[in-house]
Amino acid sequence: MISFILGGAKSGKSGYAEEQIMQLPAPWIYLATGRAWDDEMQQKIINHQKRRGQGWQTIEVPIQIAKALQQLNKEPVLIDCLTLWLTNLMMDHYHIDNEIEILLSGLKAYQGDIVIVSNEVGQGIVPIDPMARAFRNHAGVLHQKVAKIADRFTCIIAGYPVFIKP
């Protein structure tokens, strides 16, 4: 089953996603896409790691999510988060549309449960610079495609889940 959890910054989406995975038998796999670009991001990573307790195995996967899924054996997986993954792709100059298709194929092929977290970035103002607009556009396409293949789709608003799908 694929569950997609979308929300704004600091909406509670990661905590909610962790709660969902922890309802399944351990061990739980945490595919972490974040890179510590600066001190603030490093602290955020540390805070996320502290919040998770026993039973978690963290695998750093800044780019190759589909490849990482191929190496697992049906364990419950939390992917956090797709917008950080998208940032990595853009910073490393990957072909975004191709990488999205590779990701979707990997998600659909995985035999275990997957919970996917991502940041909603398209409900604010139009960004002023071209790279930020490209990011927002890629994120919108990515979210639409993941939502389409997801069995469950939940938006988190101020810490509360709003169930979209089914």
- Cα-based distances in Å from 83 to 54, 93, 137, 144: 26, 15, 11, 13
Residue 138 known to be catalytic: no
Which of 48, 93, 95, 143 is an active site residue? Answer: 48
Helix (H, G, I), strand (E, B) or coil at 5: strand
3-state SS, residue 38: coil
CA angle 112/113/116 to nearest 5° reads 130
Please identify every residue annotated as catalytic.
48
